[in-house]
Amino acid sequence: MRKKYCITFAGVPGSSKSPIAHHLSGNLGLPVFNNDTIRTEVKEDLRRFDQVAYERIRDERADVLIDSGKPFIYDASIDRFWRTYSTKLKDAGYEIFIISLDLSRQLLNEIYEAKGYTEYAQLDGYEVDHATFLANYGSLVNLHIDDAAFSDRLELSLQAAREWIDQGYIGTIVEESLKDNRILNELDILRVRIASDDRPEDRWHLYTVCVDERRIETLSRDLKPEKWYMHFWNGDDIVAVYPNKLFRFRRSDVSTWTEAVEYGKSLGIPEEQLDFVVE
């Protein structure tokens, strides 16, 4: 089960982020961080809106929340600010679940009219921002909500978030790498395959397993001290496990692999085997 995560949104303003955020908050027991609430607070305190004051309060409170390490819901669109916010969250060790609201202009117009919104002229720019985000980062989205799914958006979001939160890391363990192969009896084994080498003594027994973070840490003590390692993945997050040593990095950013690769090479593991393949 994930312990440190942020649930957030992509999509144009007014596309139903807040109703989903509050539904998730009530059912998952997570705090909601909402930019609009801070805007309102600034207006109430100063009797006018001050952009500088708003940004200062927003950033200070976001930093306090992130530094706490608690999971939370970020009720805002990250279409234009993904690189800034994702970097801050990932540097603090957070995993990110993205709900993308991919609604047609017709449905958005109907929603805006029902809410009494008047920003129709800005919709073109909002839609360009969202399309650009999807073109660059669409592969990172965990759940897409379109017109057909809109009426079920609350429960679909809750179900997908719960499944993601409860999901562990997937990885492959070579039985021959273990000091005691009986630990396999304690793991959630998804499948087993045997290497196809001609000689029986050269055939590795490969177990694909699902484990949580605490189990990953103990597995580092179960590896033989020779040239062995294992790795686990959850989305873009990779954990490389060597005897009594762990490295965490992002699959999509090879520059974050360096320490894990160099340490593996120092143990005598050929570099071509340190490719951290995911299935």
Query: What 3-state class would DSSP assign to 211?
Result: strand
| Residue 203 confidence (pLDDT) | 93
**Residue 269 predicted with pLDDT over 70:** yes
Q: Which pLDDT band holds residue 140 (cuts at 50, 70, 90)?
A: confident
**Comparing 10-24, 121-135, 164-178, which segment has the lowest mean pLDDT?**
164-178
What pLDDT sits at residue 56?
A: 97
DSSP string over 74-128? EEEE-TTTHHHHHHHHHHTT-EEEEEEE---HHHHHHHHHHHT--GGGGHHHHHH
Q: Is the pLDDT of residue 62 over 70?
A: yes
Half-sphere exposure of 142 (CA within 13 A, CB side): 23
Task: For domain 5-166, give the fold.
Answer: Rossmann fold (3.40.50)
Indicate whether 5 pLDDT > 80.
yes
Q: Has residue 208 got a pLDDT over 80? A: yes
Helix (H) or strand (E) holding 132: helix 123-137
| In the chain, where the domains are located | 5-166, 169-273
pLDDT class of 1 with cuts at 50, 70, 90: low
pLDDT greater at residue 95 or residue 155: 155
In the prediction, which pLDDT does 187 show? 86
| CA–CA dist 226, 224 (Å, integer) | 6
pLDDT tens-digit profile of 225-238?
A: 888 999 999 878 89
Whole-prediction pTM: 0.65
